[in-house]
Amino acid sequence: MSLLFPLASHAAPEGAACTKDCAAPAIAALVEGLKRPLPAQTAYTEVRFVQMLEAPLVLRGELEYQSSAELGKKVTSPYVENTTIENGQVRIERPGKPAKRFSLKRAPALAGFLESFSATLAGDAQRLARSYELSHSGDAAHWQLTLKPRDPALAKQVRQVLISGEANTPLCFEVEEAGGDTSLLLVDKLAGQPLADPPQRAALQQLCRGRP
């Protein structure tokens, strides 16, 4: 099932009894609208701005989301690489190489993405609010949700996660690392978008905000 297809839900937002670190009603309504049935999958394009590199890395592939604890990230271009995250463990496989395995805790950017991504797909604003300070801008047609980690350890690694989308569909996940590196993940209808070579960060951000 595509991420494009929202799951109709008329139930009251969960966490109605929320007393601490609560999401504002507007944000709660927005996130509630993003709920998708599982498993979900989508093509993606990831643009990584790494300080060590002159040009950003552009990776294309597929995301497979099984549950909040299980995510598959398959790079298909420009090379093949399979990343699976399962119960806090990351496993990276490349053809002809022994698999690398390490804890999700050692990849805070990925952890931040996974947390925001899965809470979004669950339509669970309160869960999101427990881990992040939430703020929101734009309108119902083009919205941005800014997530700042509450956990000081994560905050040392991840400055913020910016989710942008239109209506009931998230389109971009931008993870800003504390070290200055940034990763922009374009999903859904933006996944196949042709990009400039090399892509510019500002232009991508414009794209995410629906202003091509």
Partner 1 sequence: MSLRSRFGLLLVWLALLAGLLYYVVTGLKVSTDLRSFMPPARTPEQRLLLDEIGEGPGSRLLLLALDGAEPDTLAEISRQLAPRLRTDPRFVRALNGEGDLAALTEDLLPYRYLLSPTLDTQPLDRDFLRAELEQRVQDLGSPAAAWLKPLLGRDPTLEMLKLAEAWAPPGEPERYAEVWFSRDGKRALLLVETVAGGFDPAAQREAMDALQDHFRAIAGDARATLIVSGPGAFTVHINTATSEEANRIGLFDSVGFILLLLIAYRRIGTVAAGALPLLSGGLAGMAALALLFGGAHGITLAFGFTLIGVAQDYPIHLFSHLSRSRTPAEVARLLWPTLATGVASTCIAYLAFFASGVDGLEQLAVFTIVGLATAALTTRFGLVHLLGSRPHDAAESAWLAALWRRLAALPRPRWLAPLLAAAAVAAIAAAPGAFWENNLAALTPAPPELVARDAELRAELGAPDVRYLLVIEGKDAESVLAASEKLDPLLAEVQAAGAIAGYELPSRYLPSAATQRARQQQLPDGEALHAALAAAQQGLPFKPGSFDAFERDVQAARALPLLDAERFFAGPLGLRLKSQLQPRDGHWIGLVSLTGVNDAGALVALAARPDVPAHLLDLKHASESLVAAYRTRVLLSLLAAGLLLAGVVAVALRRRSRIVRVLLPMAVTTLLILACLRLGGVSLSLFHLIALVLAAGLGLDYALFFEHAEDDEREQRRTLHAILVCSASTFLVFLLLALSSLPVLRAIGTTVTLGVAFNFVLALLLARPRQETFPATEK
Strand order in the sheet with 142-149: 100-103, 89-93, 81-86, 70-77, 57-67, 40-49, 182-187, 169-177, 158-166, 142-149, 132-138
H or E segment to which residue 112 belongs: helix 108-121
Q: Which is nearer to partner 1, 89 or 206 (CB)?
A: 89
Residues that bind partner 1 in the complex, under the rule CB under 8 A: 46, 48, 50, 52-55, 57, 59, 75, 79, 81, 83, 85, 87-90, 92, 94, 97, 100-110, 157, 177, 179, 181
Task: Answer yes or no: are the C-beta atoms of 148 and 21 closer than 8 Å.
Answer: no
Task: Answer yes or no: are the C-beta atoms of 151 and 21 closer than 8 Å.
Answer: no
Minimum CB–partner distance for residue 31 and partner 1 (Å) = 25
Q: Which is nearer to partner 1, 103 or 206 (CB)?
A: 103
The three-class DSSP label of residue 19 is coil
Q: Which is nearer to partner 1, 97 or 211 (CB)?
A: 97
Minimum CB–partner distance for residue 126 and partner 1 (Å) = 21
Contacts of 52 (CB under 8 A, 6+ apart): none
Residue appearing with tokens 């952890």: 111
Minimum CB–partner distance for residue 131 and partner 1 (Å) = 15
Residues pairing with 99 in the sheet: none
Minimum CB–partner distance for residue 194 and partner 1 (Å) = 20
Q: Which is nearer to partner 1, 36 or 73 (CB)?
A: 73
Q: Which is nearer to partner 1, 30 or 47 (CB)?
A: 47
Minimum CB–partner distance for residue 57 and partner 1 (Å) = 4
Task: Answer yes or no: are the C-beta atoms of 173 and 113 closer than 8 Å.
Answer: yes
